[in-house]
Amino acid sequence: MGSSRTLLEMAKRIPFTDAPIGRYAPTAAQRAIIATARSTGLSNGLLRNYGGLAVTKLREAPVDYDYHGLTLRIYPTH
């Protein structure tokens, strides 16, 4: 059946943290990449994939991001 993993198996690999919100504020470069992806309206396609990869490569740590008043902690994927 290939290398199919369950959602639970994938979730166990995420390094969750109890650090306060704001601890992982994006760097200036990460903010610029996120803003560019959001402003183009192409955030669900190829640009999102490459943008996410670039954000992760800049700093392989979670990123706290405000989205319409909701603070999200986005974890890098491997």
In this model, does residue 43 exceed pLDDT 80?
Answer: no
Give me the amino acid identity at 45. Answer: G
Task: Cite the beta strand spans of 1-78 per DSSP E.
Answer: 63-67, 70-74
Q: What are phi and psi of 32, to 5 degrees?
A: -65, -40
pTM as predicted: 0.64
Give me the amino acid identity at 64. Answer: D
> Percentage of residues in the chain with pLDDT exceeding 70?
74
> What is the tens place of the pLDDT at every residue in 57-78?
888 788 898 888 898 888 776 5
Q: Which value, in Å, is the radius of gyration of the alpha carbons in the chain?
A: 14
In contact, 47 and 8? CB cutoff 8 Å: no
> What is the tens place of the pLDDT at every residue in 25-40?
999 998 888 888 777 7
